Amino acid sequence: MDFLEFLHDSKTAFHACMKSKEILLNNGFIELNEVNDFKLEKGKSYFLTRNNSSLVAFQIPADLNDLGFNITAAHLDSPTFKLKPNFELDFTRYQKLNTEVYGGPIFYTWFDRPLDIAGRVLIKNGNSIETKLISFNKAMAVIPSLSIHYNREANSGQKLNPQEDMMPIYADNDIEYGDMLARIAEKLNVEKDNILSYDLYLAILDRGMYAGQNNEFLVAPQIDNLECSFVALESLINSKPANGTINVMVLFDNEEIGSRTRQGADSNLLDIVLARIADALNINQNEYYKALAKSFFISLDNAQGFHPNYPSKYDSTNKCFMNDGVVIKAAARGSYTSDGYSIALFKMLCENSNAKYQFMTNRSDIPGGGTLGAINISHISIPSVDIGFAQVAMHSAMETTGALDIEEMEKVIKYFYSKHLAFKEDGKVVI
């Protein structure tokens, strides 16, 4: 599958989770449910979802001797704007949507773009509650910018207020009163009064394209972090676990808002699933702890690629470039999990798989963001490395990355999923 095809169907974390689920089912993975017992067999593959927005998939090898876990993790959410519970703003002639900021979007990049409305809707059906995903797949709203004739400071660093400047318009009340809930009910073929609640977001309608003289760039929304999620998923379904290794992929939600949710990296999702896998395979607690000590965790999230218009923003010897391979990220303050040991191990994985790699650190006076890796290993203490793709315009409505790097990351992640890592002693591993 092409990344843009995956992106096309993944306007929200809910849609990305559903798309991932469909891919796994089509590749022989068996769906589990957290409320039921895990019944697992050697040589088979499984997955489960939580909140319809996070997903854990894993492959059981034929032989469980010298057991360890090879784990990758990424996230399915991206910065955007979320509709508030009472979201309709009747403003004189026009109907607006009352939204709040989700994550850290670059506000001005959202102006004057055709916007879809997408997410999930919770429906009352008798005595049950059902979840339905929605995307209108059309331009439902727009956040119009103010004419430069009325805003002479528009090109001089104007400060934007999310409550005043970033509200989209979606209806002309002089033609027909804008009743968005009625439109949602019609789209889902349900009664409006049966809509109980919803998690709805603005979504960029343009789902991306290749760019550059030789199509060497990708310009699209939600590259951070659907690109890494796509590679982790593709690598898993195209791999077979080595004896003694359970391959695991976890795609979290809510990284962009700090991961402090029941489906985020700061939850018990991954450690609970790993423990339940061990229990279902009759692995006792001591053997499970030993398996964790013989495991490796790769956190996949994109990196700040070198921007040629702003060269002073980057470290002089540790800047990374689009189309120059997988980025290994490091930070002395611990915002990334990489250290000398995990970097050495990952470098060997790259070299053995002929995958290009490069390094990235931030300038010492410009701290960068963190990743879910550092959050998750506070729950499960496993050696870990942070990697990603070099991209520019991170958190823009439309981001840019190198089209050639997907193949490089797939090489190393597929190789990782095919190997049994033999941890001999503290600081020593045989690949």
Report the pLDDT averaged over residues 156-170: 93
Question: How confident is the model at residue 1, as a pLDDT?
Answer: 82
- Using alpha carbons only, what angle is made at residue 152 by residues 148 and 157, rounded to the nearest 5 degrees? 105
The yes-or-no verdict on residue 193 having pLDDT over 90 is yes
Question: How confident is the model at residue 195, as a pLDDT?
Answer: 98
Top CATH class, 3-78+221-430: alpha beta
Question: How confident is the model at residue 427, as a pLDDT?
Answer: 83
- 24-74 pLDDT per residue, tens: 999 999 999 999 999 999 999 999 999 999 999 999 999 999 999 999 999
C-alpha distances in angstroms, 141 versus 160, 195, 352? 19, 21, 49
- In what helix (H) or strand (E) does residue 390 lie, and over which residues does it extend? strand 390-392
Question: How confident is the model at residue 158, as a pLDDT?
Answer: 84
Threshold 0.75, pTM exceeds? yes
Structural contact between residues 211 and 400, judged by C-beta atoms closer than 8 angstroms:
yes
- 237-285 pLDDT per residue, tens: 999 999 999 999 999 999 999 999 999 999 999 999 999 999 999 999 9
The yes-or-no verdict on residue 178 having pLDDT over 90 is no
Tell me how far apart the alpha carbons of residues 237 and 354 are, in angstroms, rounded to a whole number: 20
Question: How confident is the model at residue 176, as a pLDDT?
Answer: 84
The yes-or-no verdict on residue 90 having pLDDT over 90 is no
Structural contact between residues 320 and 303, judged by C-beta atoms closer than 8 angstroms:
yes
- 112-151 pLDDT per residue, tens: 999 999 999 999 999 999 999 999 999 999 999 999 999 9
Q: How confident is the model at residue 154 (pLDDT cuts 50, 70, 90)?
A: confident
C-alpha distances in angstroms, 222 versus 75, 76, 207, 262, 366? 11, 9, 9, 22, 24
| Domain spans in the chain, listed from the N-terminal domain onward | 3-78+221-430, 80-204
Tell me how far apart the alpha carbons of residues 121 and 197 are, in angstroms, rounded to a whole number: 6
Question: What percent of the chain is predicted at pLDDT more than 70?
Answer: 100
Query: CB neighbours of 331 closer than 8 A, spacing ≥ 6?
Result: 338, 361, 362, 367, 368
CATH number for the domain formed by residue range(s) 80-204:
2.30.250.10
Asked whether this chain's domains 3-78+221-430 and 80-204 adopt the same fold, the reply is no
The yes-or-no verdict on residue 368 having pLDDT over 90 is no
Q: How confident is the model at residue 424 (pLDDT cuts 50, 70, 90)?
A: confident
The yes-or-no verdict on residue 157 having pLDDT over 90 is no
Q: How confident is the model at residue 12 (pLDDT cuts 50, 70, 90)?
A: very high
Q: How confident is the model at residue 289 (pLDDT cuts 50, 70, 90)?
A: very high
Question: How confident is the model at residue 94, as a pLDDT?
Answer: 94
Tell me how far apart the alpha carbons of residues 165 and 145 are, in angstroms, rounded to a whole number: 8
